[in-house]
Structure 1
């Protein structure tokens, strides 16, 4: 009969052999026949469940039979039986990958998640492209209220991805996960840590706000306050902060409440007690914003509105004029004389350290101006919009933020920011459209932009209330009509003597622009150019393919230009700037011992790790074959040393021929002074960083040398 089956392995013959073998108590032969019959039936598209069952009944020790029978049971929804069949084989040390996959699938279907986790993790380690299976398991843990297990697995996955230098895929998966599954405090806290460590500030802030809402719903207001405090530290202007602050009122310690409230520049809108001089110190950002608003209002003759801001400053920051010369001068400009209880009214005098009186302020106004009807909400948003612009990390984001913020604030039909050199076509255009209006065709918008910018360059600010009838706009009248522009305001964007673009606000109805609006928009247009200078150069260089695709590091050719740009930004904003050189052994010795390809592969791995773990606005360059240069903006030497230690730990597992790489670093904080020439600052800090690295290498592997300037005059122009 077996010979007949060999000649003609039909279903009929296999069935006869299987039944005959069973009668003869030949379990192996019966199992083999029924297995072949099951496979033949399965290949024909029919249901082979009964033949797998008979094969398993004849020989349950056969791995191939158990795998086939287990798959059949899972397909029928009998996951409990499938687990019983597969478990003995899956736990054997010789279990195949396919069998472990099938067993894990059965465990997941049976909701035995904790048992499935180690199997899925082993499979993921063998093939990291299966990360989706791990994130799916995390989601299942959340849905089953196994929050601790979900977070533990998420942290384990984060550590694995960080070791590979690839957090981006994890972040994308976790964002998708958060949108599909139940939120829990522990998981949101982990995600906030992940976003913070990856410099994803917007995602970090939004996650903290979700965590705030969740803690409030659970009645955990102390934790909610902590989340709001951290979110305000990222963006104090996020919409809804005042409502969140009101939720906390009376539910947390009063002093804690005041400290959180002080982070918001719009604190004056919330009910609060008069600030006391011995109470918690209010945020410097709030003072700066109020002073900026008052200064603009004073400068353009809106004194009564300016006095309102100064009154608020007096309430929140009593006697601050004694310590702040700029505020003192602002009082003089507005004609205000601060008065405090128990002190006689007196004109504002030069800053002194006179004894401070009680902190219940009253204000004496000199020649107050009344009757101003201008809406000053635009003035109050200058600082807010400016701060948002400076938070953007690339030119596109700056332009998009500009048009969206300005278009919405001034209720324009269209708002356009375009980058264009006179006589040429626009190189970049971003457009805001009010609801109900479609974006214009690129050619049509380009025609209008070119004409409007040329006019604004020759005439200054262009304020046209009837654009279709204006003689100077007749060459583009058809384009204006197509875009539905009846009136417009255009301001040239200039970088020093160079004209770089134009800001245009347009309306579909006749509109005259108030002089105060123009003043504010001029201020913001300057800030747009500054923000583009700060963010645009770095991203522009990257877009021009100066970043090495393999390592993620920027090429040496862009090092000087970008360091110069960062230095100018540091001077402009009075912030710290530090240069770090990190060497991973002498390149000549490493190449001689291991070969050039092995060294390049190791440095590519190191580059990927560094590029994935520095802040978004930091810069990393391939300085030499085994040396990486870091430019750390807004970072003093102390913070730079902490960053170097962090990078040391991240790259310590990288090997060449199973040998660890030497690690040496030189750190040099630039001498940033307004009176120094940027070229001299860059030259000095480059030389000092290289000297620091030489000293570190001379002292032996693992050393970091921070070399401070011998004198602040080292960079004098």
Structure 2
């Protein structure tokens, strides 16, 4: 120790005298005695540089850098290299060490640059081992760069490193597959030749499928399928190849296995059924479809099955076994439109096959669906002389029992003279009126639900049966107008029985809405309502309502206000069309004051214009249409929506009044719902560690959301997220760190879900989310995204590779179901889904 002090004292004296190189020698002697003290080495480098000995300084700095690297001290090594060594030729090993330090510091861009420099130096020096190592490091950083993996694979091949080359070519092929399938196939084939492993075989088979080489794909995957039947990627690729090769028996086995492994594989079952149909093996197709039907029914997914079945049937509607199965299924599900479509096809098939008794059965079922269908007489005519006369008359009587269409008489006359007389003669007044009323009600329903094509079809039947009725029945005439279908010769009926001349002389009312406008209005009401119920606060509901109304009705302004009549509004929002300035606060209050002096009719609102109310000019309006927001429980006004026209006196159409009333009604309901949801959050006990609602609130939240979903006719989903092996991790890290981790999870959930969704701390290591106005199918990508976000979080103790499982369940919201039964069912199915996902690990299960 004394010797070191002597050397240091001498060095200080030499420095004070300006003898820097002598001081370097003293530091070198001290460093030799204490090589662990790197400060001596740094001083040697600094003094050499100041003394003009650059080469000597670089040697000392290089040695110091290497020592820092040995200690993995990136905080000192990297700045030293940048300050003293960069720009000066360095050994490739040293540059590679710099890249490794940067990589460990997660400075990947700088690390990649260093490795590229090292790679170039290694290649110039002919150092194969160094070249391979540099490429491996680059491939670790540039995981998405196909060229880097190709270079690594080529270099590893030269050096006989088959395992490294195979992995590099495999990754390159996977990256190239979407954009360049030919090159992808080349490198995947090389990877498989070098290492014929399971993952390589799967990727190569998928590439063969991309290129249409289905036989090669099947040959690669059949051995893998024999080894394990649980790999879904293998099952999906193999089934695609087998279906394309028309190896249907093998494909059915594989697809059935896939479907048992995961219910999400059911779509491939429909594809198999379709191919069986194309191969004229309808019975086999029906067997497949029957199995899918049972499984989806058990999972309460009948709607999905019916939609897919309709697609398969329409693509193969000439196959009787398929049609019979489809008819039975649609009938069970009360799908009258689809049922009638299939029966019509069955009737044609039975007639072509001379199975006239079965054709008669199909016709009778068609009559059950719609006794007024004008295709039925033609179908009956096709059966004349082909079935028993007694049965023919029975069917004919059912068709004519409610009809007065003379055109049908020619069909029935061939069967029975009495039937002809009954058909040709007008029916009795009471019977005709009952038929007319029935048809008008059906047409009104179709118009109400925007089913324009169906409404027109029904109205055409009415006009055919009662050609003069449209000109004397105001209700029917309005239906003609609303649907956009006006039969030739129909004139407006006189009001109250007055003659047409008097009606024409009367003062003209505001222009009526066309049928197209009204159908469009009904669709717009549905669209706006859907958006309103997705808002999270009363103000956003009101803002959405006035914005949508103002834009759709092309008003100058649309004002929405919440508050009791006669008092200042608690909330006011305004929409202004382009070029129209925003109303100042006093102007808004003055307009509300003018409206407050009037009585607002909850049904028809209030119409005002400057001709009757000159004060409207002072608030920048020529005419207004105002509609109150009525509290449904207290039947009191709680606000209003006002449409204003600034450039002219506007004649407000009846359909515009109706649309405003409908949206005002839905807006009030949506505002009430947001307030109730806010109250629920306020009064619910929050979990202190996460900020989410506490577990004690879970049942109340689901009950409230189910009641709302049932009232609004919207779907509802419950999703549960659980940290895999959460209890074991809690025992390892302790309760405190786990609470901090769950707080991160709570923040992640709240930042991802919508404002209307409810997030709950379900247990120590799990969360629940109640999502309204969405289906399990639509929410699944969101759940998967959220699950991955949660898995990306880190425990405070640094535990890696965390995974989450999720269980998803859609509530069976039906008008005839009790809300508590719905709640019990959806909660139980969410738990079962989570349990299934928990067993799989790192998975999502939907029930």
Taking structure 1 as the reference length, the TM-score comes to: 0.47
More helix by share: 2
Structure of larger gyration radius: 2
Taking structure 2 as the reference length, the TM-score comes to: 0.41
